[in-house]
Amino acid sequence: MRQPMKTLPATFLPSTLASLLLAGLLTGCTQQTPAYWSGYAEGEYVYVSSPLAGRVEAVAVLAGQNVAKDSPLFSIDAESEQIAQQEAAARLNSARAQASNLNTGKRRDELAVTRAQLAQARAAEALASHDLQRQQQLAAQGFVSKARAEDAATTLSQSRARVAELAAAVQVAQLPGRQDERTAQRAAAQAAQEVLKQSQWRTRQKQQSAMQAALVAEVYYRVGEYVQAGQPVLSLLPPANIKARFFVPEQDVGTLHAGQAVTISCDGCGAAIPAQISRIATQPEFTPPVIYSNGQRSKLVFMVEARPQLKDATRLKPGQPLDVRLAATTSVQGN
Protein backbone atom coordinates (compact mmCIF):
# COMPACT_ATOMS: atom_id res chain seq x y z
CA MET A 1 0.00 0.00 0.00
CA ARG A 2 1.37 3.40 -0.98
CA GLN A 3 2.54 5.49 1.92
CA PRO A 4 1.39 9.04 2.05
CA MET A 5 4.07 11.75 1.52
CA LYS A 6 5.20 13.48 4.63
CA THR A 7 5.00 17.23 4.62
CA LEU A 8 7.48 19.56 6.25
CA PRO A 9 6.43 22.27 8.59
CA ALA A 10 5.70 25.54 6.90
CA THR A 11 8.38 27.33 8.88
CA PHE A 12 11.18 24.91 8.00
CA LEU A 13 11.58 25.54 4.26
CA PRO A 14 12.24 29.31 4.23
CA SER A 15 14.69 29.23 7.11
CA THR A 16 16.63 26.28 5.69
CA LEU A 17 16.92 27.84 2.24
CA ALA A 18 18.07 31.12 3.73
CA SER A 19 20.77 29.33 5.72
CA LEU A 20 22.01 27.46 2.67
CA LEU A 21 22.07 30.61 0.54
CA LEU A 22 23.95 32.53 3.24
CA ALA A 23 26.50 29.75 3.58
CA GLY A 24 26.98 29.75 -0.17
CA LEU A 25 27.48 33.48 -0.31
CA LEU A 26 30.00 33.43 2.50
CA THR A 27 31.87 30.62 0.85
CA GLY A 28 32.00 32.44 -2.48
CA CYS A 29 32.86 35.86 -1.07
CA THR A 30 35.60 34.88 1.35
CA GLN A 31 38.85 33.85 -0.31
CA GLN A 32 42.15 33.24 1.35
CA THR A 33 45.30 34.99 0.18
CA PRO A 34 47.34 32.63 -2.04
CA ALA A 35 50.46 31.11 -0.55
CA TYR A 36 52.67 33.12 -2.92
CA TRP A 37 52.75 35.09 -6.14
CA SER A 38 55.02 34.20 -9.02
CA GLY A 39 57.49 36.66 -10.47
CA TYR A 40 61.09 37.20 -11.47
CA ALA A 41 64.04 39.43 -10.65
CA GLU A 42 64.45 42.53 -12.78
CA GLY A 43 67.53 44.72 -13.29
CA GLU A 44 67.54 48.34 -14.44
CA TYR A 45 70.83 48.59 -16.30
CA VAL A 46 72.87 51.76 -16.64
CA TYR A 47 74.34 52.08 -20.13
CA VAL A 48 77.56 54.10 -20.01
CA SER A 49 78.59 55.98 -23.13
CA SER A 50 80.48 59.06 -24.23
CA PRO A 51 78.70 61.99 -25.90
CA LEU A 52 81.61 62.16 -28.33
CA ALA A 53 82.64 59.66 -30.98
CA GLY A 54 86.09 58.13 -31.25
CA ARG A 55 88.22 55.03 -31.13
CA VAL A 56 88.26 53.05 -27.87
CA GLU A 57 91.68 53.55 -26.34
CA ALA A 58 91.34 51.49 -23.14
CA VAL A 59 88.75 49.40 -21.26
CA ALA A 60 89.60 49.14 -17.57
CA VAL A 61 86.97 46.57 -16.50
CA LEU A 62 85.66 43.13 -17.40
CA ALA A 63 82.12 41.79 -17.51
CA GLY A 64 81.13 40.37 -14.13
CA GLN A 65 83.51 42.64 -12.22
CA ASN A 66 82.34 44.76 -9.30
CA VAL A 67 83.56 48.35 -9.47
CA ALA A 68 83.58 51.06 -6.81
CA LYS A 69 82.33 54.58 -7.25
CA ASP A 70 84.57 56.80 -9.41
CA SER A 71 86.48 53.79 -10.75
CA PRO A 72 87.69 54.32 -14.36
CA LEU A 73 85.67 52.35 -16.91
CA PHE A 74 86.98 53.19 -20.37
CA SER A 75 88.65 55.93 -22.37
CA ILE A 76 88.35 57.09 -25.98
CA ASP A 77 91.09 58.70 -28.06
CA ALA A 78 91.10 62.41 -27.10
CA GLU A 79 93.99 63.80 -29.16
CA SER A 80 91.77 66.19 -31.10
CA GLU A 81 90.13 67.47 -27.89
CA GLN A 82 93.50 67.95 -26.21
CA ILE A 83 94.79 70.03 -29.14
CA ALA A 84 91.63 72.14 -29.08
CA GLN A 85 92.08 72.61 -25.34
CA GLN A 86 95.63 73.88 -25.81
CA GLU A 87 94.44 76.29 -28.51
CA ALA A 88 91.67 77.59 -26.24
CA ALA A 89 94.17 78.07 -23.40
CA ALA A 90 96.46 80.10 -25.68
CA ARG A 91 93.57 82.29 -26.83
CA LEU A 92 92.59 82.90 -23.22
CA ASN A 93 96.12 83.97 -22.32
CA SER A 94 96.16 86.35 -25.27
CA ALA A 95 92.81 87.90 -24.34
CA ARG A 96 93.87 88.31 -20.72
CA ALA A 97 97.15 89.96 -21.76
CA GLN A 98 95.31 92.43 -23.96
CA ALA A 99 92.89 93.23 -21.16
CA SER A 100 95.79 93.79 -18.77
CA ASN A 101 97.55 96.00 -21.31
CA LEU A 102 94.48 98.24 -21.56
CA ASN A 103 94.40 98.65 -17.78
CA THR A 104 97.85 100.27 -17.75
CA GLY A 105 99.51 103.14 -19.63
CA LYS A 106 102.48 102.93 -21.97
CA ARG A 107 105.64 101.16 -21.00
CA ARG A 108 108.18 102.97 -18.83
CA ASP A 109 110.69 103.32 -21.68
CA GLU A 110 108.05 104.77 -24.01
CA LEU A 111 107.01 107.20 -21.31
CA ALA A 112 110.67 108.19 -20.77
CA VAL A 113 111.02 109.06 -24.48
CA THR A 114 107.97 111.32 -24.35
CA ARG A 115 109.20 113.04 -21.19
CA ALA A 116 112.61 113.66 -22.80
CA GLN A 117 110.86 115.23 -25.79
CA LEU A 118 108.87 117.41 -23.37
CA ALA A 119 112.06 118.57 -21.64
CA GLN A 120 113.59 119.43 -25.01
CA ALA A 121 110.47 121.40 -25.99
CA ARG A 122 110.58 123.38 -22.73
CA ALA A 123 114.21 124.24 -23.34
CA ALA A 124 113.31 125.44 -26.83
CA GLU A 125 110.49 127.50 -25.33
CA ALA A 126 112.87 129.20 -22.89
CA LEU A 127 115.32 129.95 -25.71
CA ALA A 128 112.54 131.39 -27.87
CA SER A 129 111.38 133.56 -24.96
CA HIS A 130 114.85 135.04 -24.48
CA ASP A 131 115.23 135.62 -28.21
CA LEU A 132 111.91 137.47 -28.33
CA GLN A 133 112.99 139.81 -25.53
CA ARG A 134 116.28 140.55 -27.28
CA GLN A 135 114.63 141.19 -30.63
CA GLN A 136 112.09 143.51 -29.04
CA GLN A 137 114.90 145.56 -27.39
CA LEU A 138 116.84 145.78 -30.65
CA ALA A 139 113.71 146.80 -32.56
CA ALA A 140 113.00 149.51 -30.00
CA GLN A 141 116.54 150.87 -30.46
CA GLY A 142 116.17 150.71 -34.22
CA PHE A 143 118.88 148.16 -34.80
CA VAL A 144 116.50 145.55 -36.30
CA SER A 145 113.16 145.75 -38.03
CA LYS A 146 109.90 145.02 -36.28
CA ALA A 147 109.52 141.97 -38.52
CA ARG A 148 112.40 140.30 -36.71
CA ALA A 149 110.61 140.77 -33.38
CA GLU A 150 107.37 139.41 -34.85
CA ASP A 151 109.20 136.32 -36.15
CA ALA A 152 110.66 135.73 -32.66
CA ALA A 153 107.15 136.00 -31.15
CA THR A 154 105.86 133.44 -33.63
CA THR A 155 108.70 131.05 -32.78
CA LEU A 156 107.89 131.39 -29.05
CA SER A 157 104.24 130.57 -29.69
CA GLN A 158 105.22 127.45 -31.62
CA SER A 159 107.55 126.36 -28.80
CA ARG A 160 104.81 126.83 -26.20
CA ALA A 161 102.36 124.79 -28.31
CA ARG A 162 104.90 122.01 -28.62
CA VAL A 163 105.38 121.96 -24.84
CA ALA A 164 101.61 121.75 -24.30
CA GLU A 165 101.36 118.92 -26.84
CA LEU A 166 104.08 116.82 -25.21
CA ALA A 167 102.78 117.50 -21.67
CA ALA A 168 99.39 116.18 -22.78
CA ALA A 169 101.08 113.18 -24.42
CA VAL A 170 102.77 112.32 -21.09
CA GLN A 171 99.43 112.42 -19.28
CA VAL A 172 97.74 110.29 -21.94
CA ALA A 173 100.58 107.76 -21.84
CA GLN A 174 99.90 107.22 -18.14
CA LEU A 175 96.17 106.66 -18.60
CA PRO A 176 94.57 103.17 -19.11
CA GLY A 177 92.48 102.41 -22.17
CA ARG A 178 89.03 103.84 -22.59
CA GLN A 179 86.30 102.32 -20.44
CA ASP A 180 84.46 100.87 -23.42
CA GLU A 181 87.63 99.28 -24.77
CA ARG A 182 88.46 97.74 -21.39
CA THR A 183 84.91 96.41 -21.01
CA ALA A 184 85.02 94.87 -24.47
CA GLN A 185 88.38 93.25 -23.83
CA ARG A 186 87.27 91.83 -20.49
CA ALA A 187 84.25 90.33 -22.26
CA ALA A 188 86.55 88.82 -24.87
CA ALA A 189 88.69 87.28 -22.13
CA GLN A 190 85.58 85.85 -20.42
CA ALA A 191 84.40 84.35 -23.72
CA ALA A 192 87.82 82.77 -24.22
CA GLN A 193 87.63 81.27 -20.75
CA GLU A 194 84.22 79.71 -21.49
CA VAL A 195 85.59 78.24 -24.70
CA LEU A 196 88.40 76.69 -22.66
CA LYS A 197 85.89 75.22 -20.22
CA GLN A 198 83.97 73.67 -23.09
CA SER A 199 87.15 72.19 -24.47
CA GLN A 200 88.09 70.80 -21.05
CA TRP A 201 84.61 69.26 -20.72
CA ARG A 202 84.94 67.58 -24.11
CA THR A 203 88.30 66.15 -23.08
CA ARG A 204 86.86 64.78 -19.82
CA GLN A 205 83.97 63.13 -21.66
CA LYS A 206 86.43 60.88 -23.46
CA GLN A 207 87.15 59.19 -20.09
CA GLN A 208 84.18 57.69 -18.25
CA SER A 209 84.08 56.56 -14.60
CA ALA A 210 81.49 54.73 -12.51
CA MET A 211 78.97 57.11 -10.98
CA GLN A 212 78.23 54.56 -8.23
CA ALA A 213 79.30 51.13 -7.08
CA ALA A 214 77.93 48.53 -9.48
CA LEU A 215 78.41 45.22 -11.27
CA VAL A 216 79.75 45.37 -14.82
CA ALA A 217 77.02 43.52 -16.72
CA GLU A 218 78.35 43.63 -20.28
CA VAL A 219 81.20 45.15 -22.29
CA TYR A 220 80.13 45.88 -25.86
CA TYR A 221 83.29 47.39 -27.40
CA ARG A 222 86.95 46.41 -27.33
CA VAL A 223 90.14 48.42 -27.62
CA GLY A 224 90.65 49.71 -31.16
CA GLU A 225 86.98 49.68 -32.15
CA TYR A 226 85.28 52.90 -33.23
CA VAL A 227 82.25 53.92 -31.21
CA GLN A 228 79.65 56.47 -32.23
CA ALA A 229 78.62 59.33 -29.96
CA GLY A 230 76.11 58.16 -27.36
CA GLN A 231 76.65 54.47 -28.13
CA PRO A 232 77.01 52.46 -24.88
CA VAL A 233 80.44 50.94 -24.42
CA LEU A 234 79.38 48.91 -21.38
CA SER A 235 76.45 48.45 -18.99
CA LEU A 236 76.37 48.55 -15.20
CA LEU A 237 73.93 47.10 -12.70
CA PRO A 238 73.94 48.98 -9.37
CA PRO A 239 72.44 47.09 -6.40
CA ALA A 240 69.79 49.79 -6.00
CA ASN A 241 68.50 48.96 -9.50
CA ILE A 242 67.64 45.33 -8.70
CA LYS A 243 64.00 44.63 -7.90
CA ALA A 244 61.39 41.90 -7.82
CA ARG A 245 58.55 41.98 -10.32
CA PHE A 246 55.58 39.74 -9.60
CA PHE A 247 51.97 39.47 -10.72
CA VAL A 248 48.94 39.61 -8.45
CA PRO A 249 45.42 38.55 -9.52
CA GLU A 250 42.98 41.41 -9.81
CA GLN A 251 40.90 40.14 -6.87
CA ASP A 252 43.97 40.36 -4.59
CA VAL A 253 45.56 43.61 -5.70
CA GLY A 254 43.23 45.73 -3.57
CA THR A 255 44.88 44.45 -0.40
CA LEU A 256 48.34 45.69 -1.43
CA HIS A 257 49.81 49.17 -1.14
CA ALA A 258 53.14 50.88 -1.68
CA GLY A 259 55.53 50.40 1.22
CA GLN A 260 53.98 47.10 2.27
CA ALA A 261 56.44 44.46 3.44
CA VAL A 262 56.87 41.24 1.48
CA THR A 263 59.39 38.41 1.44
CA ILE A 264 61.10 37.01 -1.63
CA SER A 265 62.17 33.40 -2.07
CA CYS A 266 64.07 31.78 -4.88
CA ASP A 267 66.06 28.63 -5.56
CA GLY A 268 69.51 28.90 -4.06
CA CYS A 269 68.87 32.24 -2.37
CA GLY A 270 68.98 30.87 1.14
CA ALA A 271 66.90 32.71 3.69
CA ALA A 272 63.91 34.73 2.53
CA ILE A 273 64.75 38.24 1.40
CA PRO A 274 62.71 41.09 2.91
CA ALA A 275 61.49 43.79 0.53
CA GLN A 276 58.95 46.57 0.23
CA ILE A 277 56.41 47.15 -2.50
CA SER A 278 57.51 50.18 -4.52
CA ARG A 279 54.99 50.16 -7.36
CA ILE A 280 51.60 48.73 -8.26
CA ALA A 281 50.60 48.95 -11.91
CA THR A 282 47.53 51.05 -12.66
CA GLN A 283 46.37 48.81 -15.50
CA PRO A 284 45.85 45.06 -15.57
CA GLU A 285 47.43 42.62 -17.98
CA PHE A 286 47.47 38.91 -18.67
CA THR A 287 50.12 36.84 -16.98
CA PRO A 288 53.27 37.14 -19.14
CA PRO A 289 54.65 33.96 -20.69
CA VAL A 290 57.76 34.21 -18.50
CA ILE A 291 55.61 32.96 -15.60
CA TYR A 292 55.51 29.19 -16.27
CA SER A 293 52.47 28.32 -14.22
CA ASN A 294 49.49 26.58 -15.80
CA GLY A 295 47.24 27.82 -13.03
CA GLN A 296 48.13 31.48 -13.59
CA ARG A 297 48.76 31.56 -17.33
CA SER A 298 45.42 33.05 -18.34
CA LYS A 299 44.54 35.13 -15.27
CA LEU A 300 44.08 38.86 -15.35
CA VAL A 301 46.79 40.25 -13.09
CA PHE A 302 48.43 43.49 -11.98
CA MET A 303 52.18 43.90 -12.12
CA VAL A 304 53.72 44.77 -8.74
CA GLU A 305 57.32 45.70 -8.00
CA ALA A 306 59.19 45.36 -4.71
CA ARG A 307 62.71 46.46 -3.86
CA PRO A 308 64.95 44.68 -1.35
CA GLN A 309 67.53 46.40 0.80
CA LEU A 310 70.91 47.09 -0.78
CA LYS A 311 72.64 44.42 1.29
CA ASP A 312 70.22 41.79 -0.04
CA ALA A 313 69.81 43.04 -3.60
CA THR A 314 72.92 41.29 -4.90
CA ARG A 315 71.41 37.93 -3.96
CA LEU A 316 68.94 38.32 -6.80
CA LYS A 317 69.92 37.74 -10.42
CA PRO A 318 67.89 39.39 -13.21
CA GLY A 319 65.58 36.90 -14.86
CA GLN A 320 65.61 34.55 -11.86
CA PRO A 321 62.14 33.09 -10.99
CA LEU A 322 60.83 34.28 -7.62
CA ASP A 323 58.09 33.52 -5.16
CA VAL A 324 56.74 36.54 -3.29
CA ARG A 325 54.73 36.37 -0.08
CA LEU A 326 53.27 38.93 2.25
CA ALA A 327 55.37 39.46 5.33
CA ALA A 328 52.25 38.91 7.50
CA THR A 329 49.36 36.51 6.76
CA THR A 330 46.29 38.41 5.56
CA SER A 331 43.02 37.42 3.95
CA VAL A 332 41.47 38.94 0.86
CA GLN A 333 37.81 39.89 1.26
CA GLY A 334 35.48 39.86 -1.73
CA ASN A 335 31.73 40.52 -2.14
Q: Output the pLDDT for position 45.
A: 97
Q: Output the pLDDT for position 34.
A: 62
Task: Pick the closest to residue 227 from 200, 206, 201, 211 (CA basis).
Answer: 206
pLDDT in tens, 262-319: 999 998 888 999 999 999 999 988 777 665 555 555 578 899 999 999 999 999 999 9
Mean pLDDT is lowest, of 35-39, 138-142, 295-299, for 295-299
Burial profile 55-89: b = 16 or more Cβ within 10 angstroms, e = fewer: ebeebbbeeeeebeeeeebbbbbbeebeebbeebb
**Half-sphere exposure in the Cβ direction for 321 (13 Å, CA):** 10
Q: Output the pLDDT for position 290.
A: 60
Indicate the pTM of the whole model.
Answer: 0.66
pLDDT average, residue stretch 152-171 = 86
pLDDT in tens, 70-101: 999 999 999 999 999 999 999 999 988 888 87
Q: Can you tell me the distance from the alpha carbon of 19 to that of 30, in angstroms, rounded to the nearest whole number? A: 16
SS3 281: coil
| Residue percentage of the chain with pLDDT more than 70 | 83
Q: Output the pLDDT for position 177.
A: 63
Q: Can you tell me the distance from the alpha carbon of 166 to that of 158, in angstroms, rounded to the nearest whole number? A: 12
pLDDT in tens, 244-256: 999 999 888 989 9
pLDDT in tens, 195-253: 999 999 999 999 999 999 999 999 999 999 999 999 999 999 999 999 999 999 988 89
Q: Can you tell me the distance from the alpha carbon of 12 to that of 258, in angstroms, rounded to the nearest whole number? A: 50
Burial of 184 (0-12, 13-18, 19+ CB in 10 A): middle
